[in-house]
């Protein structure tokens, strides 16, 4: 079991964060200078380096907003409106999370089912696996509008088309992980089951499935992050009334770069949170038996 050492973990993380923030500020200055210069010239007052710096970091529609601008936007959105208001990012994050989680659940079911089939039937391995891999070579941006259009035509709108797009992205890591996991049982462990004259289903539930869980959770951590991306992509073609994707789209319509960046930060926070949830479930389920 690894020993947790939070005291030693904090400084490297903090140092890296500081470095990134510094790079961000430098980048913002470099990208926003032309616009800032123009604004100062138009104002017609004499200006120097300090005025230019202040102007570059305080643009209304900067090419790259500074971290403090993004943080302020995020903060005012979260505090100034009720969580149920479309002006609050929490509302949009929840809409996206709903679709991502529904898609993850569907992807988990589909991925596991495929893996069980592939592991137990050789024919399925040869007939299904190439299609499973081929499915991931199609760019999701291309197929997402098709899914929205087709399902919309069938009368299915709202959460379901987005969840289907998430499922399309999610099932692949889960299938690959579970195929490996279900085959991970040690030959001795299988022999042991044989000496107990345990049948196929018994061996599956008592041996193959628990042996595959570490692989499943590794896949789930990938899938849950990918699922958030899928949900956001699914919100773009709908014209988007709600969700982080809709927020991104609206921001780009009106050139509200700060709004775009705050939605992006919110999306990554959502992913981090969901991965944290998966890790917590993993820890609760595998417990100390999983840690070695």
Partner 1 sequence: MPTPPPLPSDGAPAPMPAPQPAPALSAAPSAAPAAPAAPAAGGRPIVELRGVSLVYPTADRPVTALSDVALTIAKGDFVSLIGPSGCGKTTLLRVIADLERPTAGHIAVEGMTPEQARLKRLYGYVFQAPALYPWRTVERNVMLPLEIMGLPAAERRTRAREQLERVGLSGFERKFPWQLSGGMQQRVSIARALALQPDLLLMDEPFGALDEITRDHLNLHLTQLWRATGKTCVFVTHSIAEAVFLSTRIVVMSPRPGRILDVIDCDLPRERTLDIRETPAFAAIAHRVRQGLKEGHSYDD
Interatomic CA distance for residues 216 and 171, integer angstroms = 11
In 10 A of CB 75, how many CB atoms?
Answer: 11
Which of 2, 50, 84, 197 is the binder for partner 1 (CB under 8 A)? 197
Binding flag, residue 68, partner 1 (CB under 8 A)? no
Binding flag, residue 153, partner 1 (CB under 8 A)? no
Binding mask 227-266 for partner 1 (x = CB under 8 A): ----------------------------------------
Least Cβ distance, residue 201 to partner 1 (angstroms): 11
Interatomic CA distance for residues 113 and 121, integer angstroms = 12
Binding flag, residue 47, partner 1 (CB under 8 A)? no
Nearer to partner 1, 1 or 7 (CB): 1
Touching partner 1, residues 157-186 (CB under 8 A): 186
Q: DSSP state, 57? A: T
Which of 196, 254, 281, 283 is the binder for partner 1 (CB under 8 A)? 196
Helix (H) / strand (E) containing 109: helix 89-120
* Binding range to partner 1, per CB under 8 A, among 22-30, 54-62, 94-102, 283-291: 283-291
Which of 71, 192, 250, 264 is the binder for partner 1 (CB under 8 A)? 192
Q: Give the DSSP per-residue string, 161-174.
A: HHHHHHHHHHHHHH
Q: For the purposes of burial, counting CB atoms within 10 Å of the CB of 48, is it exposed (0-12), middle (13-18) or buried (19 or more)?
A: exposed
Categorise residue 44: left if φ over 0, alpha if ψ from -120 to 50, beta otherwise. left
Least Cβ distance, residue 287 to partner 1 (angstroms): 8
# binding residues, partner 1 (CB under 8 A): 22
Of the candidates 68, 189, 177, the residue with the CA atom closest to the CA atom of residue 132: 177
Q: DSSP state, 48? A: -
Q: What residue spans of 121-256 are helical by DSSP H? A: 122-135, 140-153, 159-182, 187-195, 200-203, 209-235, 244-253
Least Cβ distance, residue 193 to partner 1 (angstroms): 8
Of the candidates 279, 285, 250, 253, the residue with the CA atom closest to the CA atom of residue 77: 250
Binding flag, residue 220, partner 1 (CB under 8 A)? no
Binding flag, residue 218, partner 1 (CB under 8 A)? no
Which of 5, 194, 253, 284 is the binder for partner 1 (CB under 8 A)? 194
* Binding range to partner 1, per CB under 8 A, among 81-89, 98-106, 196-204, 237-245: 196-204
Contact residues toward partner 1 (CB under 8 A) are 186, 188-189, 191-198, 202, 206-207, 210-211, 213, 286, 288-290, 292
């Amino acid at each position: 079991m690894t020993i947790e050492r939070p005291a030693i973990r904090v400084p490297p993380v903090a140092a890296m964060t500081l470095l990134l923030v510094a790079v961000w500020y430098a980048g913002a200055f470099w990208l926003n200078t032309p616009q800032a210069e123009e604004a100062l010239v138009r104002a017609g007052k004499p200006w120097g380096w300090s005025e230019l710096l202040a102007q570059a970091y305080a643009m209304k529609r900067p090419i790259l907003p500074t971290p403090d601008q993004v943080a302020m936007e995020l903060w005012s959105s979260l505090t100034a409106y009720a969580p149920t208001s479309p002006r609050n990012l929490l509302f949009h994050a929840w809409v996206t999370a709903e679709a991502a989680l529904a898609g993850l659940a569907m992807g988990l079911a589909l991925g596991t089912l495929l893996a069980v089939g592939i592991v137990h039937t050789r024919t399925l391995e040869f007939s299904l696996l190439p299609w499973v891999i081929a499915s991931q070579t199609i760019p999701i941006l291309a197929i997402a509008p098709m899914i929205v259009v087709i399902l919309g035509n069938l009368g299915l709108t709202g959460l379901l088309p987005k969840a289907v797009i998430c499922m399309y992205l999610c099932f692949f890591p889960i299938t690959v992980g579970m195929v490996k996991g279900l085959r991970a049982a040690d030959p001795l462990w299988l022999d042991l089951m044989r000496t107990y004259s345990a049948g196929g289903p018994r061996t599956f539930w008592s041996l193959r499935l628990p042996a595959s869980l570490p692989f499943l959770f590794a896949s789930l951590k990938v899938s849950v992050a990918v699922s958030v991306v899928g949900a956001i992509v699914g919100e773009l073609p709908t014209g988007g009334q709600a969700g982080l994707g809709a927020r991104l789209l609206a921001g780009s319509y009106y050139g509200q770069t700060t709004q775009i960046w705050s939605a992006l930060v919110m999306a990554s926070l959502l992913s981090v949170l969901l991965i944290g949830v998966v890790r917590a479930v993993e820890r609760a389920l595998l417990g100390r038996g999983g840690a070695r």
